[in-house]
């Protein structure tokens, strides 16, 4: 999700700062006409470090001097807070002009960041990504038919087929509905042996103005759907939000999973072509859930 005013990442905004503060984190926000950054003070066993999720952010017209001034402020803050190191996630950098970095090698990315911020490359170390390194943006200002037309044939086919199978997408801000995501996420975490978020953490995220909970409900083909639930419509949301939620739900073979940088959970549905011991979902059962930002 991007800031509509300057196309900066949501994770480098005051809205994200509020979320972090609500979660008990210590944060710092700096903004000028050329750059801005949100720094989160994180505790580790031997001290603290500063974390800038998807940051810092520089305006498109920022110069190398602006970039150096930006990092000078970050280093000053780190010294003031006795931070051992700084973790940054710059999104678009080359030697002296912003570009997409998707096709660059890790060494080239490190070199570009070092040159752009006037840093010692030997002091930079590439670590594992905490947030998705690549994102996909869909322009929702187009009409619904145009949005569908721009999808691949396979995606359109899956979208239409699952509508016919009675899957409906619902959107909610009700904190009590977070139980569906918690249940599915804990089930997935147990199966995959991974950690999951607490219910309180997810409720705090849902309470933010930019967050919504999307639920996928299964209806048996013989079930008569309510008028407002036919064709996989999102309840109480604009038509385009319906398309965004339903088409961003990636439907691969028997898996149903929400494709987003948010918190997702999935279950598997049976197929005639694949033998499975898992039971068919009950009529009206929530089979997938995701927090969308």
Q: How far from the centroid of its chain's Cα atoms is residue 83's Cα? A: 27
- Mutual angle of helices 199-206 and 178-192, in 10-degree steps: 130
Share of the chain above pLDDT 70, in %: 73
CB atoms within 10 A of CB 89: 18
Return the closest-CA partner of residue 114 out of 104, 122, 103: 122
Return the closest-CA partner of residue 36 out of 9, 18, 63, 1: 9
Domain match, 171 and 113 both: no
Which of 9-13, 124-128, 271-275 comes out lowest in average pLDDT? Answer: 271-275
Among 94, 123, 152, the domain-final residue is: 123
Domain match, 164 and 280 both: yes
Domain match, 103 and 199 both: no
Decide: pTM greater than 0.85. Answer: no
Q: What range does the domain containing 26 cover?
A: 10-123
* CATH code for the domain in which residue 46 is found: 3.40.630
Domain match, 148 and 230 both: yes
Domain match, 153 and 91 both: no
pLDDT digits (tens, 9 = 90+) for 86-110: 999 887 654 444 455 556 677 777 7
Mean pLDDT across the stretch 161-171?
Answer: 84
Which of 98-102, 173-177, 237-241 comes out lowest in average pLDDT? Answer: 237-241
**What's residue 276's pLDDT?**
54
Domain match, 21 and 150 both: no
* pLDDT level of residue 124 (50, 70, 90 thresholds): confident
Residue 133 within any structural domain of the chain: no
Measured between alpha carbons, how far is 199 from 31 in angstroms, rounded to an integer? 33
Residue 171 within any structural domain of the chain: yes
Domain match, 117 and 242 both: no
pLDDT digits (tens, 9 = 90+) for 42-55: 999 999 999 999 99
Residue 19 has pLDDT above 50, yes or no: yes
pLDDT digits (tens, 9 = 90+) for 182-236: 999 999 999 998 888 899 999 999 999 999 999 999 988 765 455 444 444 444 4
Residue 237 has pLDDT above 50, yes or no: no
- Six-digit token string for 20: 């972090």
Reported as half-sphere exposure (CB side, CA atoms, 13 A), residue 274 has a value of: 10
Domains held by the chain: number: 2
Measured between alpha carbons, how far is 265 from 179 in angstroms, rounded to an integer? 12
Residue 259 has pLDDT above 60, yes or no: no
Mean pLDDT across the stretch 7-12?
Answer: 87
């Amino acid at each position: 999700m991007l800031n509509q005013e300057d196309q900066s990442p949501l994770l480098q905004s005051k809205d994200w700062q509020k979320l972090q503060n609500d979660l008990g984190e210590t944060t710092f926000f700096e903004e000028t006409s050329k750059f801005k950054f949100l720094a989160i003070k994180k505790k580790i066993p031997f001290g603290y470090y500063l974390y800038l999720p998807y940051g810092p952010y520089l305006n498109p017209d920022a110069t190398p001097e602006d970039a150096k001034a930006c990092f000078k402020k970050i280093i000053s803050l780190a010294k003031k807070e006795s931070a051992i190191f700084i973790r940054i996630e710059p999104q678009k950098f080359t030697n002296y002009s912003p570009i997409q970095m998707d096709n660059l090698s890790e060494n080239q990315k490190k070199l570009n960041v070092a040159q752009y911020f006037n840093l010692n490359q030997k002091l930079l170390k590439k670590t594992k990504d905490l947030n998705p390194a690549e994102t996909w943006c869909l322009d929702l200002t187009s009409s619904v038919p145009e949005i569908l037309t721009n999808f691949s044939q396979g995606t359109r086919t899956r979208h239409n087929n699952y509508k016919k199978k009675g899957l409906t997408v619902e959107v909610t801000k009700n904190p009590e509905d977070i139980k569906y995501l918690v249940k599915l996420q804990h089930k997935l975490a147990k199966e995959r042996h991974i950690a999951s978020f607490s219910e309180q953490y997810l409720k705090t995220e849902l309470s933010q103005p930019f967050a919504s909970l999307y639920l996928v409900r299964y209806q048996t083909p013989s079930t008569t759907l309510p008028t407002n639930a036919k064709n996989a419509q999102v309840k109480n949301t604009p038509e385009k939000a319906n398309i965004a939620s339903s088409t961003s739900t990636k439907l691969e073979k028997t898996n149903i999973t929400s494709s987003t940088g948010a918190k997702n959970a999935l279950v598997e549905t049976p197929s005639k072509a694949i033998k499975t011991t898992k039971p068919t979902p009950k009529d009206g059962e929530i089979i997938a859930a995701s927090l969308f930002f």
